[in-house]
Structure formats: C-alpha cells, structure tokens
Amino acid sequence: MHELSIVEGLMGIIRETAGEHGLTRVTRVKLRIGAMRQVVPDALRFAFEVTGKDTVAEGAEIVITDVPTKAHCNDCGSDFAVEEFCFVCTACGSGQIDVTEGKELYIDSLEGE
C-alpha cells in the first residue's frame, strides 16, 4: 500500500504548515492527485486516519481533487486526455508523447484553527 508512504510525506508538510500558521488543529486538507499516481482514495483516507492520530491533523477531513492524465504528442503537436493508461496519441497514433498532467500530488490548501 503506497498510500501510507505518500501520507507520511504529506504529514510532514502539514505539520510544518500548521506550525507556520499557528494552527493547533487541522480540520480539512485539500489534495490534488493526478491519475498517474494510482492512489486509491479510501486507502489514502485510511492512511491519514492512522498516521494522523495524535497529531494536529487528527480527524481532519480529506478532500481529494482528481487530476486527469493529459499528454502532448511530439509528432503532431496535439494535446489530448489519456484514457485507461493508453499512452498513444489519439490524433496520429504516435507513441512519442510527454505526459503533461496527471503526475501531481500536492496539498492544495489546509484549513484549521
């Protein structure tokens, strides 16, 4: 379950950010997660529950925004959405593509008190 290591990384940022803003409790964490990350939302929430115990983020609501995978074709120049991990240009069929979106995994915002 790679969600646990993801959350451990995020928790460090959450603790730091909460400290910087003088928050004693984080109530909501908004995340942007790209489809390429293959994160299972339920597993991520569970990992937060476990990792967040006895921290500022205990019981925080986790809001996940999915970022679909997009790619750019280096042969014909078109930008397209990648469906079902099919990494082939939808316009010309080329495999010479760069993934431009869908790899993100970061904290969009934190709410607390």
The binder of Zn ion chosen from 1, 50, 91, 107 (CB under 5 A): 91
Between 26 and 89, CB nearer to Zn ion: 89
Q: Which is nearer to Zn ion, 51 or 69 (CB)?
A: 69
Q: Which is nearer to Zn ion, 25 or 72 (CB)?
A: 72
* Candidate ranges 4-12, 30-38, 68-76, 98-106; the one touching Zn ion (CB under 5 A): 68-76
Helix axes 41-52, 3-20, angle to 10 degrees: 50
**Size of interface with Zn ion, in residues (CB under 5 A):** 7
Q: Report how far residue 90's alpha carbon sits from residue 18's, in angstroms, rounded to the nearest whole number.
A: 44
Tell me the window of 1-9, 36-44, 60-68, 86-94 that interacts with Zn ion (CB under 5 A).
86-94
Binding segment for Zn ion (CB under 5 A), chosen from 23-31, 51-59, 63-71, 82-90, is: 82-90
Q: For residue 73, state whether it binds Zn ion (rule: CB under 5 A).
A: yes
SS (H, E, C) the chain: CCHHHHHHHHHHHHHHHHHHCCCCCEEEEEEEEEHHHCCCHHHHHHHHHHHHCCCCCCCCEEEEEEECCEEEECCCCCEEECCCCCCCCCCCCCCCEEEEECCCEEEEEEEEC
Interface with Zn ion by CB under 5 A: which residues? 73, 75-76, 89, 91-92, 94
